[in-house]
A and B are shown apart, each in its own frame.
Chain A
């Protein structure tokens, strides 16, 4: 991974934005989905670390907006717009949504990775943001870092090392 410049690190259920020459990353995605929204001309990118598909699942009154696909993507778009980035200019890259453990009689909660992928895609469709690249599903953890000037997403896994999408 590119360690030479400052890296904006995004935690679980969090979101943030960064400008080139910084990069933006999140570590250890399993069933969670890491979504990058970026404007390649303005060299700005945002990342949200989505943990659950929909805020209707929330049983508490307050929660981190980035936790759910619907609230997380909306908040990220709002944050980018506040920085002067029009949502019509945004493109998306995404990774994650794995199933880390194969539970035979798994409940729906156990297939959360697939549900996260679908929920993120549904939101992107709603905001008409095209998905340029994705590395989703499977049974592996991923750490991702977005190189803003090149619009490239580094995806690192334990067994396969770093691939770029």
Chain B
């Protein structure tokens, strides 16, 4: 069975050939059918360009893109069986919600009664049954997001692309929508590809994710793999926060002379621990405290769960960790 989306050495360069801006640079990528796939990265890392390459709004300058095994280099966006939920939702302000949702069916020539019936079905799916006659301007941000979702899904796409789908929502709504998107994807079995710069969102929603940096994929894997076994310093630092240990420090902690990552929550107060230094700051996080200390000139952060005894700022403390918590990175 072919993969839902496949990139083979895909590049998208902008500007003159002599000094190109490499938005996407020789990316290889395989997204399995039915996956909930996240593209994570800081702004300008190439993740949105990758999404636009799948939807067809960008064309690769080199390489090949296949959707369900079919080369799409000659297929314009309106002929791809792929739909997008846009970051700003891009709902048509002059149409009501029902017409917005039925738009894809309308341009394909489906009769009015039939397309409205399907639109209502989709609106029910996103819990907006009673909103068909409203204009997008009369809806809240979360409701608009659902309309955008229904409008894309009504076309029964084989791949649904979501560009920062939750970026414009407030925290509570964002969490609710995360659960909803996840269950919707499970129920429909459609491949979801979503772009985000929010590592929490990527970790909690995706089955697998790609971390982008400077037009290249830094690492692909399951959220747990990415979090516990980051391949590069960039991944360790961007996904969650981490203590990045230079080779000398890793060596002094009993590891090889390589860069290592040590997650703050794996550290605990330990009178015999190998990391020693004075406490430089204590920050209250609600669910715990973040302790910073200076160990041999390196800033080390540790997160202590709520209820643990706190050291005074300035006092010398020692921190310990389980041996498997020290993750050695191959790449510098």
Chains A and B bind each other: no
